[in-house]
Amino acid sequence: MTILVTGSAGFIGANFVLDWLANHEEAVISLDKLTYAGNLENLKGLDGDSRHTFVKGDIGDSELLTELLETYQPRAVVNFAAESHVDRSIHGPEDFIQTNIVGAFRMLEAARAYHARLSAQAAAAFRFLHVSTDEVYGSLSPTEPAFTEQHQYEPNSPYSASKAASDHLVRAYHHTYGLPVLTTNCSNNYGPYHFPEKLIPLVIHNALAGKPLPIYGDGQQVRDWLYVKDHCSAIRRVLEDGIVGETYNIGGWNEKANIDVVHTLCDILDHEQPRVDGLSYRQQITFGKDRPGHDRRYAIDATKLERELGWKPAETFESGIRKTVRWYLDNQGWVNNITSGAYRDWVSRQYQ
């Protein structure tokens, strides 16, 4: 038995493949285009593991998809591949449309053709699991209840709009063609291998490098944080027993204002690796221009996943964030390999 995982060299995809092979004997075919966000170093732990096959390629390449499906006959596809950074989608939405919408469409088409050729037994067991985000639901006021699966889609950024489009296509392929799909909508993740353009790894990196810790606007925007390994365990659970055609919200019940997250990171670093001058890393916090169309609050109601599939996160924010800071302190080489070249150009454009 085999599964095909796309976007496997990125943050969540890599964590998923590593955790999958730590928990199963079942082989994984990894497909990743290796964009700026894809990093084979994330999968280094699997070197020499015969259960893992990496293929460099684009989810928009129909021929390649057909070949991979026919050759490896996976019993499931898990689609992580995407452009994932909101700020980049504001500067240049084109890649988001190509990968997140057209790429997802090509994957659905290839999966539909493959599914149609499977034996009745294999077709009944096949699953196409699409990994999506809570950002498709739009923004909440401070007092509104958290997003349930019934919340209407109101995406506000080119990133979230492109993910919403792909979610709709996935739904349509189930209703129209009977493709056995599952969709998960997860809140903000954090943990090992998180690319340092996103808030938590950026703040850890900048703090240690003596650089400003940039807060957009007033820093009171709220995100609902989930440790990445909890996201991976939820996806495994949905893949195992999720009901075909259903969507499942995944979240950590950890709503935090951005400024509080940054304060927490500074306090942990003050303890783990104090500044040489003895002052707090909080000194480096700088408030700047807000993100255009910045969603004020996301919050996920993950009751359905707990009630129907018995999933709960293993980490609290307090335990997960400590593990994360420790991982970055222990893996400075990984960060240094990224924070060069093209990444530096992005930082100077975004934070000039």
Residues with catalytic annotation? 134-135, 159
CB of 222 closer than 8 Å to CB of 187: no
Q: Applying CB under 6 A, does 12 fall inside the site for ligand TYD?
A: no
The nearest distance, CB 135 to ligand NAD, in angstroms, is 8
Q: Applying CB under 6 A, does 198 fall inside the site for ligand TYD?
A: yes
Q: How many residues does the chain have?
A: 352
Give the pairing of strands 222-224 and 255-257. antiparallel
Pick one of ligand TYD, ligand NAD, none as the site partner of residue 163 (Cβ within 5 to 8 A by kind).
ligand NAD
Q: Applying CB under 6 A, does 77 fall inside the site for ligand TYD?
A: no
Q: Report how far residue 130's alpha carbon sits from residue 31's, in angstroms, rounded to the nearest whole number.
A: 15
Q: Report how far residue 41's alpha carbon sits from residue 54's, in angstroms, rounded to the nearest whole number.
A: 12
CB of 304 closer than 8 Å to CB of 183: no
Q: Report how far residue 157's alpha carbon sits from residue 64's, in angstroms, rounded to the nearest whole number.
A: 30
At 10, the amino acid letter reads G
Q: Report how far residue 188's alpha carbon sits from residue 255's, in angstroms, rounded to the nearest whole number.
A: 10
The nearest distance, CB 78 to ligand NAD, in angstroms, is 10
CB of 242 closer than 8 Å to CB of 28: no
Pick one of ligand NAD, ligand TYD, none as the site partner of residue 74 (Cβ within 5 to 8 A by kind).
none
The nearest distance, CB 158 to ligand NAD, in angstroms, is 13
Q: Applying CB under 6 A, does 223 fall inside the site for ligand TYD?
A: yes
| Near ligand TYD in 254-283, by CB under 6 A | 258
Q: What is the rounded end-to-end Cα distance, in angstroms, of the chain?
A: 50
The nearest distance, CB 155 to ligand NAD, in angstroms, is 12
Q: Report how far residue 60's alpha carbon sits from residue 78's, in angstroms, rounded to the nearest whole number.
A: 15
Q: Applying CB under 6 A, does 164 fall inside the site for ligand TYD?
A: no
Site residues (CB under 6 A) for ligand NAD? 6-7, 9-13, 32-35, 37-38, 58-60, 80-84, 99, 103, 131, 133, 163, 186, 188-189, 195
Nearer to ligand TYD, 69 or 200 (CB): 200
With CB under 6 A, what is the number of residues at the site for ligand TYD?
12
Nearer to ligand NAD, 286 or 337 (CB): 337
